[in-house]
Amino acid sequence: MKKNRLVKGFLIAFTAFGINAVTAQDTATIKVSEEADAPVISKHIYGHFAEHLGRCIYGGFFVGEDSPIPNTHGVRNDIIDALKQLGIPNLRWPGGCFADTYHWKDGIGPKEDRPTIVNQWWGGVTEDNSFGTHDFLNLCEILGTEPYLAANVGSGTVKEFNEWVQYVNHKGTSPMSELREENGRLEPWNVKFWGVGNEMWGCGGNMTPEYYANIYKQYATFMTDWTNSDKLFRIASGANVADYHWTEVLMRDIPKNLIEGVALHSYSFVEWENKGSSLEFNEEQYFSTMETALKMEELVTKHSEIMDKYDPNNRIALIVDEWGGWYEVMDGTNPGFLYQQNTMRDAMIAGTTLNIFNNHSKRVKMANLAQTVNVLQAVILTEDEKMLLTPTYHVMEMYKVHQEATMLPVTLQSPEFTYGDASLPAISVSASKDTAGAVHVSLVNIDSKKSNKVSIDLGELGLKKFTGRILTSKKLQDHNTFDKPNAIVPVSYDKFKFRKGTLELEIPPFSVVVLEGK
């Protein structure tokens, strides 16, 4: 991931699919309505990412079958249970930058016969390939989640890529399906989601978009779908943050019958060269981090506008398959392992970013938080036999009510969150209506010091009563620890008034609220 090209100006207002946030007022006013042609919020927006990086796989997910830690085929049972509760819809693997040095045949067959490699991107450690294709795809089956395989374009070949598709998807007789059966798997896994390379503008090969578009076409052409199931969903390696030329070239040069998705990567941080501590940050650093997080609104809007020009029928999805907070590693840890703590600041990033994706669900169809366990903005942290769920986990659990629900357009006028002479919208919101008719409104107040009053006009929806949950704490730097894993958890919330279709409440500083109306 390269540095965001972030202009040092600050948001005064932003607009996106019915959102119109305007500062300089005391109360946030929101109107929620219905539209006949509103999109469904894809569950895949709530996807996750597991790279062979640091302790995400080894010492995170995978402890081995001989571990005293309870496990299923070497994967920790407590992690399996937590991710099932979270209802993750998809999981991206094996990278990241690691994907374009990964040769999948190294990770199949008897574990004792698998070759080792050096993980040149992340810490220079030896990778023994004990967690490979079967391990990952079987884990996805246990979790009830869709696998998203990021395949090697940077150092691989078309033949190697094509054989991986055949190995995991072909039901009939072929060299690769026979090899799969020799390795203990009779039925194919029928993997749908495939990333055709990763960050081709950087660690994937430092390519130009014009060069990559040609390479992509070659790989995508030979990605035969060897099953009678749905067509493969091919995802092109997309732009680094605000590289709109990259998206323009891919949309212009790749035939529409060869592509189903275009990726986008963007991280939130203080400054790229000095990301600051994940725990010991001040007001200025918090404000800067939220500025980069809210920049996602502009990125999604502008990349979508380019895609609209070439794809007016909205057939190709925008896939934000890497996002989240990125800080300096915790003291005493390998700098290549990207291990950081997870505070209420990260809950703010998660809540506001997911609101943006929900509101852009016409074009955004998948996203992947980086990363699942022990890396960057993780939802789970482990230490030997101990495990904890982070504030980010709890936000995603609260927000899972939006999965596969119909997006409800929202208009918003927001108070300011100010630092010095700069300002950001303090309130973020998205809303949806599920198939049972329940309406959910998710709200975030990013202000670090001030509660904000909110008035929500829901009169068009005919609702009778509301319940709610809140995630909040006393300090922005608060986090869960292995000694106190439940210091920050969602609790019931009823500090609101609902009269004549209007909901009124006051959201504490740096808090996330999800309301349900029926």
Q: Which residues are catalytic?
A: 199, 322
Of 242, 245, 260, 237, residue with least CA distance to 311 = 260
Q: Are strands 364-370 and 427-433 parallel, antiparallel or unpaired?
A: unpaired
d(CA 393, CA 433): 22
Of 359, 234, 233, 369, residue with least CA distance to 304 = 359
Phi-psi region of 197 (alpha: psi -120 to 50; beta: other; left: phi over 0): left
d(CA 84, CA 488): 20
- The residue whose two tokens read 């495990």 is 387
Phi-psi region of 199 (alpha: psi -120 to 50; beta: other; left: phi over 0): left
Q: Are strands 511-517 and 466-471 parallel, antiparallel or unpaired?
A: antiparallel
What backbone phi and psi angles, to 5 degrees, belong to 380? Answer: -135, 135
Residue type, 14: F
Judge contact between 411 and 19, C-beta under 8 A: yes
Of 10, 88, 41, residue with least CA distance to 297 = 10
Judge contact between 372 and 49, C-beta under 8 A: yes
